[in-house]
Structure 1
Amino acid sequence: AAGIGERPTEDGPRLIAAVEINTLAGSVLARHGMGRDGEELHILGYGMDPDDSGLERRLAAQREGRRVRLEQTVACLRDHGAPIDEELGRLFDEAGPGSHDALGRPHVARALVRAGHAESIDDAFVRWIDHGRPCYVRREGMGPREAIDVIRDAGGVPVLAHSPAAPHRVEVIAELQSWGLAGLEVYYHTFVPKTVGRMARFALGRGLLATGGSDYHGDAMPYAESQATTYVPDAVAEKLIDAIEAARAGR
């Protein structure tokens, strides 16, 4: 991705890098009578200092948790007669050096399809690894408040990612804002125009930054396809960079 603090220009950077932290949101949702056990909220961190020691420490713990969960899931599938070791190994090779820490359930789902244990990515989740299915493994990790704190402490701007239910969860969003949430992902490749409009109005009404992104993780679809289906106005990036600069100045 392009330089974090550079403004998009006609010939210059068109992207702003972010870190996505998957958080365990069951407790905050339950307080407001919403959601289900194991539900996650994904928090994006824009503009963080990559050399921040606290950030690296918490992300290292997240990576270790992801590794353990992956191993437990693969072992469970093996025990249930759906081994994916060979296919997952090929996905590891395809991902290349330095990418293994990012491998998770979407890659398990792809391996299940390749191994003939599922007909599609969605089928793999529904049949094997989604919540309540035979090889669902509960994830351990940060809650939303901790993730927001980590992002802000590293000089970043915390944004709630791809959450179309946000306008119907006003109390939850208000609590996240009380912890320092600064934005809402409004432009997303699966959102239809009606959803984008609703999200944009909600973000404006709550005083939240509107952001947009491809949610590309090197899986499911080529980057070009993911990016082609996501329109984000340049003005959105300008406001986000202003927020990043303000966050850095306030450290």
Structure 2
Amino acid sequence: MELYRESNRFDLHTHSRASDGMNTPAENVRLAKENGLVGLSITDHDTVAGVAEALQAGREIGITVVPGIEISTRAGGKDIHVLGYFLNIQDNLLLERLAHLREVRGARNERIIEKLQQLGIDITLQEVKDGLSRPLRPDESLGRPHIADTLVRKGFAKDMRDAFDRYLAEGKPGYASLPRIGPVEAMEWIREAGGAPVLAHPGLYSNDDLVTEIIESGKPAGIEVFHSDHGAEDEQRYLAIADQYGLIPTGGSDYHGVRQGVVFHGDLGSRYVAEETVERLKQAALAGQLGSS
């Protein structure tokens, strides 16, 4: 399988303002075309609110859009993210489940604000919402980047990275995490909605024993090998794990847009896979549907 053919590149991990990205879904689609991609996936946190707009934009300009999501979970004392591809974005049970996850995310945000206030930082959740310059839809979600952006605007951090390094990253004084579902359950939700689950950016967890435990328990279709925060050694290590467990090696930039002149996590299209990988994910999703029927 050829992962890096220049003529058929897909970025399978991008975020829009339906969660914590800066661009509209349609803007991500247009940027994908400008950057020479043939396709992308919108994988917002705990919501599929941006997928329909992206699909329409893709049809209009000739870019393939893979319906996607990134579900927030917790395992082994760490926040674990699970990507899902080709899921039915109109599945009522999935939408109900995601609404509950966004409620947990909202409560987490409130706790972060409380902890920041206890540190003497003058910040409110309303200020974070006001920073959007638009109403927050019920099916959209706020994330830590929104809070970080407010910290920078109010002078409590010099840039987004500083806001995370000082306050919001795991283990820092403003970090908070409430009880969440586990990654194995999230993978089952994705399969039940007709999709193919993929373990996201395993290198960020700094615990490959936990990674293999999740793989053995959840049996995802794939693992995200190519990611903006993965180095060459990470890629080789997770390619070996993908081979060991028969997983599809996927990849994407985890693009969130530009804040204060900084791109998070990488520019759209800077990490990618070939169309063959996308086809394998589609077949895995179809196989899961047949297996559950």
Superposed pair shares fold, TM > 0.5: yes
Pairing partner for 2:70 from 14, 20, 42: 20
Query: Does the 8 Å contact 2:73/2:79 carry over to 1?
Result: yes
Query: Does the 8 Å contact 1:144/1:176 carry over to 2?
Result: no
1:49 partner letter: N
Bigger drift between 156-165 and 172-181 goes to 172-181
**Higher fraction of strand:** 2
Query: Does the 8 Å contact 1:214/1:227 carry over to 2?
Result: yes
Number of equivalent positions: 235
Aligned partner of 1:92 in structure 2 is 132
Q: What is the DSSP-based 3-state SS (H/G/I as helix, E as strand, rest coil) of the residue aligned with 2:66?
A: coil
Aligned partner of 2:268 in structure 1 is 227
For residues 178-197 of structure 1, the aligned pairs below 5 Å read 178-197=217-236
Distance 2:161 2:265 in 1: 21
Q: What is the DSSP-based 3-state SS (H/G/I as helix, E as strand, rest coil) of the residue aligned with 2:133?
A: helix
For residues 30-45 of structure 1, the aligned pairs below 5 Å read 37=77, 39-45=78-84
Q: What is the TM-score normalised by the length of structure 1?
A: 0.79
Aligned partner of 1:112 in structure 2 is 151
Aligned partner of 1:124 in structure 2 is 163
Query: Does the 8 Å contact 2:152/2:160 carry over to 1?
Result: yes
1:129 Cα offset (Å)? 2.7
Could you tell me which runs of 5 or more consecutive residues in structure 2 were left unpaired when the two chains were aligned: 1-28, 30-38, 42-54
Distance 2:172 2:119 in 1: 12
Q: What is the TM-score normalised by the length of structure 2?
A: 0.68
Query: Does the 8 Å contact 2:202/2:208 carry over to 1?
Result: no
Query: Does the 8 Å contact 1:210/1:236 carry over to 2?
Result: yes
1:72 Cα offset (Å)? 2.4
Question: 1:75/1:19 Cα in 2 relative to 1: closer, same or farther (>3 Å)?
Answer: same
Name the Cα RMSD after superposition: 3.2
For residues 157-168 of structure 1, the aligned pairs below 5 Å read 157-164=196-203
Question: More relative contact order in 1 or in 2 (CA 8 Å, sep 6+)?
Answer: 2
Query: Does the 8 Å contact 1:151/1:158 carry over to 2?
Result: yes
Distance 2:272 2:183 in 1: 27
Percent sequence identity over matched residues? 34
Query: Does the 8 Å contact 2:127/2:150 carry over to 1?
Result: yes
Distance 1:181 1:167 in 2: 19
1:113 Cα offset (Å)? 1.5
